Amino acid sequence: MENKKSLRIALAGNANVGKSVVFNQLTGLNQVTGNWPGKTVERAEGTLYYEGYTFNVLDLPGIYSLSAYSLEEVVSRDYIAIDRPDIIINVIDASNLERNLYFTVQLLELEAPVIMACNQMDFCSKKGICIDLEKLSNLLNIPVVGTTAISGIGISELISEVVSIAQGKTKIILKPPEYGVEIEKRIQNLKEKIQSNLPDLAELYPPRWLSIKLLEKDPIIVEKVQKLDNGNTVLELANKHVKEIEEIHGHISSVAIAAERYNIANRIAQKVQEFVKEPRLTFEEKLDTLTSHRIFGYPILIAIMAIMFAIVFVVGDFLIVVLEGIFYGALLPNLETFLIDAGLPPPIISIISRGILGGIVAGITIALPYIIPFYIILAFLEDTGYLPRAAFLMDNIMHKMGLHGKAFIPLILGYGCSVPACIGCRIMETDRERLIAGFVVVLIPCAARTVVILGLVARFVGFGWAMGLYLFNLILIFVLGRIAFKTVPGEPMGLIMEMPTYKRPSLKVMLIKTWNRSKDFVYIAFPLMVAGSLVIELLRLAGFLEIIGMVMSPIFVSWLGLPDFSAIPLVFGILRKELTLILLADVAGTTNFALVLTPVQMIVFALVSMIYIPCIATIGALLREYGGKRTAIIIIADIALAIILGGVAFRLLSLFL
């Protein structure tokens, strides 16, 4: 390679091997990490400056193969083959060599310049496996670096390896491993045919790789070849060879080739790894047996969810009392007297103190106390590896909604924020499942809606009622999911998921993750809160508030039984869901909601804001993932549902409360 100053690097490898951790270490960015397969659904890009070099690093989604049967795989292989990054760092899980090498073999087949980062070396030695990295490097003909990315070990060696390739000191030999003689003979045969008949295509993709793909009957490559002039002569030879391979192996050619590839991976793995001692994983194994137990797993799952909300509520409630004491007891009154002393006219004082500061203070005192503990617990669940267990347990129930267990992961993430959950629905394999999952995921009460439910219902009506709302929400999701399953045409897919081992989460990583998510929340939500408070304050001063209340009163007062001032917060809640509560405090003039709302009204208010349109950011995510028409249907369905259920709830609850 010539001495270039700017290089493109791609991180590729199986799901859940630590690509994103390596990425974060290289670029200093904060790509989401966790212990479950499928976190990285979008390509993330970052830059690393080192000794005068600029490295543009790309984090590809985790895949197990480069076949044509999933979108991520096709995108990744086209990126590697056509865009040709200067270096590919193949991140592998050292404790799971065979499966990871299967992917490495495919990368080598693509004749890509590969460096291997043998990651999770610490975990590997915990499992009692010793790996001979030098031997591995010799067998694969590529540089291999051992890393423990989570604690930053081996990252500098990885970078210097990249630099030495950039400087041309290390030459990468493109020599893909060979198959068994029966298949290899036919690959070579076909390769010659491709080189002489399809020179253009052989320019774009490596000819040996093309022959393998034709022997695998890869639909995309076969179609490409078919379109070309001499394509049919090549396909004829390919089909002849496919028949021969199938006769020899007794299985379809692509499976026979996969088996051969696994043989190569197995052979290499056997040569380089040694089981030196018994694995020290008894605790993790016990935990796994218990949490995914066919009977005890379910009460544990329910208990974890209940404890999660209880902790969020107790911690949040405590923080709210403390913060309210500070802000409303001391800061705000002092500030107001200070402003009056400064001689400002009353309307301006009211705009500053109630509009601008009111929004910020309400955000700090009402929203953050619930959101931060919530994010910490979510990070804990993500990093330990509990989420795949929950997916395993819920597979059965999710099938009733035409989804499979994996969809439970975005569903739980939805309790954090609907936007990543919505994008996270991409871990589902087909378009149809993504749609159903996206539809139900936005109905999950996100952290912002949790603020409303806990801050209003749990604090002023009772924790049991708040839990009741969550339970009702789950039942609603199940019913709606089932309806969607029956209406959206298509065949349901099944679950295939790698189960990661439990890992002890690092407190530092969890806190950093919480910090980043909270930061995003503050940056996006606080300006909206201030703007919202400001607009409402201006409307109030201009006397429009009553008019809006009157216009909306048929729905809000007559049907939902809410006071007329509650219309504004609910409408503004489109911007951010917790705004409904914060603006409610604004229009009511107090954060002690018991003074202005009856228990029934609080429950109805929380129910409506829980179900109706997801916030603007979620609408944006929906638009991007599903397009305008489907988004519109989801929005209209949600609004109608919220209004209908709110009215019904008002009438039913009035009988009891």
The residues that touch another protein, with contacts defined as CB under 8 A, are 64-65, 67, 69-70, 95-99, 102, 216-217, 246-247, 249-252, 254-255, 258-259, 262, 266, 292, 294-295, 297, 388, 391-393, 395-396, 399, 404-405, 492, 494-499, 501
CA–CA gap between residue 94 and residue 17 (Å, rounded): 9
For the CB of residue 495, give the shortest distance to another protein in the complex, in Å: 4
Instruction: Tell me whether residue 67 or residue 76 sits nearer to another protein (CB atom).
Output: 67
| Nearest-approach distance from CB 246 to another protein, in angstroms | 6
* Euclidean distance between CA atoms 434 and 424, whole angstroms: 9
**Which C-beta is closer to another protein: that of 85 or that of 405?**
405
CA distance 238 to 595: 79
How far is CA 173 from each of CA 136, 138, 140, 475, 487, rounded to the nearest angstrom? 15, 11, 10, 58, 54
* Radius of gyration for the alpha carbons in the chain, expressed in angstroms and rounded: 29
Asked if 119 and 30 count as a contact pair (C-beta separation under 8 A), the reply is no
The least CB distance from residue 498 to another protein, in Å, is 6
Token pair 């590697």: residue:
80
The tally of CA atoms less than 13 A away on the side-chain side of residue 107 is: 32
Q: Where are the alpha helices (DSSP H) in 198-252?
A: 199-204, 207-215, 219-227, 231-249
Plot region of 441 (φ>0 → left; ψ -120 to 50 → alpha; else → beta): alpha
Q: Which residues pair with 59 in a beta bridge?
A: 11, 44
- Min separation Cβ 398 and another protein, Å: 10
Smallest distance from the beta carbon of 352 to another protein, in angstroms? 57
> Tokens standing for 408?
């439970």
Residue with Cβ nearer another protein (68 or 166): 68
For residues 401 and 13, give the distance between their C-alpha atoms in angstroms, rounded to a whole number: 31
Q: Rounded to the nearest whole angstrom, what is the least distance from the CB of residue 222 to another protein in the complex?
A: 12
Side by side, which strands form the sheet with 87-93? Answer: 44-50, 53-59, 6-12, 87-93, 114-119, 144-146
Nearer to another protein, 214 or 615 (CB): 214
Shortest Cβ distance from residue 494 to another protein (Å)?
Answer: 4
Select 109 or 638, whichever has its Cβ closest to another protein.
109
Kindly state the smallest distance separating residue 13's Cβ from another protein, in Å. 14
Closest CB to another protein among 71 and 314?
Answer: 71
Q: Which is nearer to another protein, 178 or 285 (CB)?
A: 285
The C-alpha atoms of residue 465 and residue 605 are separated, in whole angstroms, by 13
In the bound state with another protein, the residue whose beta carbon lies nearer, of 368 and 436, is 436
Q: Shortest gap between Cβ of 554 and another protein (angstroms)?
A: 48
Q: Which residues pair with 117 in a beta bridge?
A: 91, 145
> Looking at beta carbons only, is 492 or 620 nearer to another protein?
492
Q: Specify burial of residue 475 (Cβ count, 10 A radius: 0-12, 13-18, 19+).
A: exposed
User: What is the nearest approach in angstroms of another protein to the Cβ of residue 120?
Assistant: 12
The helix/strand/coil state of 137 is: helix
C-beta atoms surrounding 325 within 10 Å: 11
233-269: b or e for each residue (b if 16 or more CB lie within 10 Å)?
A: ebbebbeebbebbeeebeeebbebbbebbbebbeebb
Side chain identity at residue 259, one-letter code = A
| Closer residue to another protein, CB minimum distance, 258 or 356 | 258
301 or 534: whose CB is closer to another protein?
Answer: 301
In what helix (H) or strand (E) does residue 76 lie, and over which residues does it extend?
helix 71-78
| Beta carbon of residue 223, minimum distance to another protein (angstroms, whole number) | 14
At residue 281, φ and ψ (nearest 5 deg) are -125, 25
Contacts 24+ apart (CB under 8 A), 470-479: 470/309, 470/445, 472/607, 473/443, 473/444, 473/445, 473/610, 473/611, 476/443, 476/611, 476/645, 477/411, 477/440, 477/443, 477/444, 478/397, 478/400, 478/401
- Assess contact for 172 and 142: CB atoms under 8 A: yes
Instruction: Between 97 and 447, name the residue whose CB sits nearer to another protein.
Output: 97
DSSP tag of 494 = -
Q: Quickly tell me which residue has 């509520």 as its tokens.
A: 313
Query: Rounded to the nearest whole angstrom, what is the least distance from the CB of residue 401 to another protein in the complex?
Result: 14
Give the type of residue at 368. Answer: L
The nearer residue to another protein, 111 or 260, going by C-beta atoms, is 260
CB of 642 to another protein, least distance (A): 33
Nearer to another protein, 232 or 396 (CB): 396
Crossing angle of helices 231-249 and 253-272, rounded to 10°: 70
Give the separation between CA 539 and CA 610, rounded to whole angstroms: 26
C-beta closer to another protein: residue 400 or 651: 400
Q: Which CB sits closer to another protein, 184 or 498?
A: 498
CB 456, CB 578: distance < 8 Å = no
Least distance between another protein and beta carbon 404 (Å): 6
Task: Please give the distance of CA 314 from its chain centroid, rounded to a whole number.
Answer: 27
Cβ atoms of residues 581 and 605 within 8 Å: no
In the complex, least distance from residue 62 CB atom to another protein, rounded to whole angstroms? 13
Minimal distance, residue 255 CB to another protein, in Å: 5
